[in-house]
A = this chain, B = another copy of it.
């Protein structure tokens, strides 16, 4: 196996190699632009006692939480998302929440795994970002290799059981003349947050300043650009702060699970090639 810790080297590798390197703990960074054409996913792992309410929450807030995979009972293998995906090792970086508080980031959760845990995969913005790039829209966080800025907002989620709280959004600066096209393109991807939630005024959705994102890296807005906000798969991490389960494990924002599912599939289920 190639030993790689460098993002730019990973950009040229096939999906299986990316996941192998991640699994071995040799890459713990963000996954934007990796394994082009493959669905990437936000991850939330919860005790099964929370599963029904969490799936209610995803259904009611499908723009922020588009469910693309759920692990089977007592299994860490996410067979509907890939040939060999082990959710305990295949995410570059995990965030461990105990009693609703973020405690540590780790690259492997085998020591935390329990058979009553269920892993949920939620579609992510990388899918529409790829479509935007293919259409000639430039995205600064990919060009400059930083993590997209994410913010808490005052847009409420529709609660379910103990899960509630504001929608979290990601922000990308977009040329004003491109906003309509960007909206149309991203709207084609309902499993990847669809069209923007808001364009233009951070204050209108409860963001005081763009300079201090709650997750990810700050990013300047050019004179000919406006900030465009999409619902973000980090929304459940915010809801977990309110639900306070004894344990919850998520991906570290930006560091997604890379799956084998073709991101153009109508229903995100991996089917091994025949033969």
Contact = CB atoms under 8 A, between A and B. Distances in A.
Contacts of A218: none
A55 interface: yes
Contacts of A60: 70, 80, 267, 269
Interface string A156-168: 0010110000000
Contact of A70 (B56, B68, B194): B56
Contacts of A194: 266
A72 B56 contact: yes
A73 interface: yes
Contacts of A55: 51-52, 55, 59, 70
A199 interface: no
Contacts of A269: 60, 158
- Size bracket of the A interface: 20 to 34
A52 B267 CA distance: 19
Q: How many copies does the complex hold?
A: 2
A62 B59 CA distance: 12
Given A160-B72, A190-B190, A48 B52 contact: yes
Interface in A25-84: 48, 51-53, 55-56, 59-63, 67-70, 72-73, 80
Contacts of A118: 52
Contacts of A48: 52
A68 to B, nearest CB: 8
Contacts of A67: 59
Contact of A52 (B51, B59, B158, B195): B51
Given A52-B48, A52-B55, A55-B70, A61 B267 contact: yes
A244 to B, nearest CB: 18
30 contacts: A51-B52, A52-B52, A52-B55, A52-B73, A53-B73, A55-B55, A55-B70, A56-B70, A56-B72, A59-B67, A59-B68, A59-B69, A59-B70, A60-B70, A60-B80, A60-B267, A60-B269, A61-B267, A62-B267, A63-B266, A63-B267, A70-B160, A72-B161, A73-B161, A80-B158, A158-B269, A190-B190, A190-B266, A194-B266, A195-B266
